[in-house]
Structure 1
Amino acid sequence: MSSTDANAQAAPAPAPRTDTDAETSPLPAGGGTVSTDSDSEDTLELRLPDELIALFSEEEGAHADEAPERREIKTAPTRARSIDGDLLDDVGDWGSVTTPAGAFHLVPVHIERDLPLVSRWMNDPAVAEFWKLAGPPSVTENHLRAQCTGDGRSVPCLGVLEGTPMSYWEIYRADLDPLARHYPARPHDTGIHLLIGAVADRGRGLGGILLRAVADLALDKRPVCARVVAEPDLRNTPSIAAFLTAGFRFSAEVELPAKRAALMVRDRLLRDLL
């Protein structure tokens, strides 16, 4: 992180979601990017890509002559962000993109400001079926805070269309997520979870339009990323349809802890063909 027009109208760092509305709601909290359940612990145990380990070694050698206390800060990080900087290349600075539906941009979630809105969306039955975050605001808050205070491998955002917040997104490093255990992940794979909040915004094609826009933003702003991935629930056919409309291809069925998902992939090399 879903029906795309209903939840894409929606995936994990810790555990991701992905489906957009009732049509595109992201995966359930336990199958996605970041959650506070056991998937979060699994994520911490996930082996870092060889490229990050190599960077770690180079950093250690470069500071070998520094004072021991400074070396410890720089060469013994406990979080991936310390090694790789911003893991998602400043999602908040990706900027606005023009879509057939109007100007759209992602704004990282500010919990105190955005919790009431996001929690209300999560309690919509069409969204709750796939995100599994219905309940008091504290349920959504725990899900958001796990990402906001984590190591940066997942960034929760509001999708703002023509100045109005109307969707919730999770942009995450799929290669550093538990999802990577279930498909042949490549370094810097970027994952998406999405849900469209307002019922009036669902079922009219917004899911596909916005998914294409955000996937293209990820490819434009993250030159090291060769593809964008998502894992909507196989039962969520509207969400899968939205991803196909957005230029994703169906890659495989994957069995995740909380669901059987469709692995959707948008390749940089095919973006002008699909």
Structure 2
Amino acid sequence: MTATGTTIAAAPVADLAVTIEPLDVAAHATLLHAWLTHPHSAAWELGHLDVHGVRAYLDEVATDPHQHAWLGRVDGEPTFLVETYDPARVLLTDVHDARPGDVGMHLLVAPPTGAPVHGLTSAVMREVVRFVLDDLGAARVVVEPDVTNTAILAKNAAAGFRVLREVDLPGKRALLSVCTRADLAASPLGRTLR
């Protein structure tokens, strides 16, 4: 699941150009510290970390062969963080019967700093799922959002994620869900790719 080069995926979404590239921890640790410690990002449970703690967290992801971190840009501006992982080896080892081609995914859209951009999170979600399926070659994207996070549950449903079951994970009761290429293509967000 590794890629070379600076830009891995690039796709225009409506009037937004979304790109995804490998995360450069040294270059982006301060920016990601602001995102990950913002109250908007409470589900990531990293709000207590200083910039060195966030860098250590990101370095740990970067050095683990079963995880990868990606920086997403919209119209050239850093806008979101994606983590991908092998659910057979990371986080879901005891609660998910991983299939070959399963790739776990976490997504954090940066806290807003100005006026909201209509459709931004939908465009980002669609492109991230497409990236994991097409660019990383996943057969299924696997997510495990908190059952109480109604906003992300709705966004996952709009992207075609199918709920498998509830599972207990550290710090949360999660809704284990998967999405295939066919699920994305048939979803409200996926239909806008055509």
Q: TM-score range by the shorter chain?
A: 0.7 to 0.9
Deviation at 1:176, TM superposition (A): 2.3
Match of 2:77 among 164, 168, 174: 164
After superposition, the C-alpha distances for 1:134-189 in whole angstroms (9 at most, x for unaligned) are 231122111101011222x1111211011000111112222322313212211221
Gaps of 5+ in 1: 1-87
Aligned-residue offset at 1:133: 0.9
Q: Which of 4, 13, 23 is the equivalent residue of 1:109?
A: 23
Q: Which amino acid aligns with 1:249?
A: R
Task: After TM superposition, list the pairs within 5 Å mapping 1:208-223 onto structure 2.
Answer: 208-223=122-137
* TM value normalised by structure 1: 0.62
The structure showing larger relative contact order (alpha-carbon pairs under 8 Å, at least 6 residues apart) is 1
Distance 1:222-1:113 versus aligned 2 partners, 3 A rule: closer
RMSD over aligned CA atoms reads 2.1
Cα distance, 1:203 vs structure 2: 8.2
Task: Please list, as runs of the form range in 1=range in 2, the aligned pairs for 1:1-274 lying within 5 A after superposition.
Answer: 88-90=1-3, 94-127=8-41, 129-134=42-47, 135-151=49-65, 153-199=66-112, 200=114, 204-223=118-137, 225-274=138-187
| Dislocated runs of 4+, deviation >6 Å | none
Shift of 1:132: 1.1
Separation (CA, whole Å) in 1 of partners of 2:168 and 2:115? 30
Residue 188 to residue 180, structure 1, CA distance change in 2 (3 Å): farther
TM-score of the pair, normalised by structure 2: 0.85
| Cα pair distance change 1:205/1:255, threshold 3 Å | farther
Structure 2, unaligned runs of 5 or more = 188-194
Q: Which has the larger radius of gyration?
A: 1
One-letter amino acid of the counterpart of residue 148, structure 2: R
Distance in structure 2 (CA, Å) of the matches to 1:270 and 1:121? 30
Which structure features the higher share of strand residues?
2
Q: Report the Cα distance in structure 2 between the residues aligned to 1:99 and 1:154, rounded to whole angstroms.
A: 27
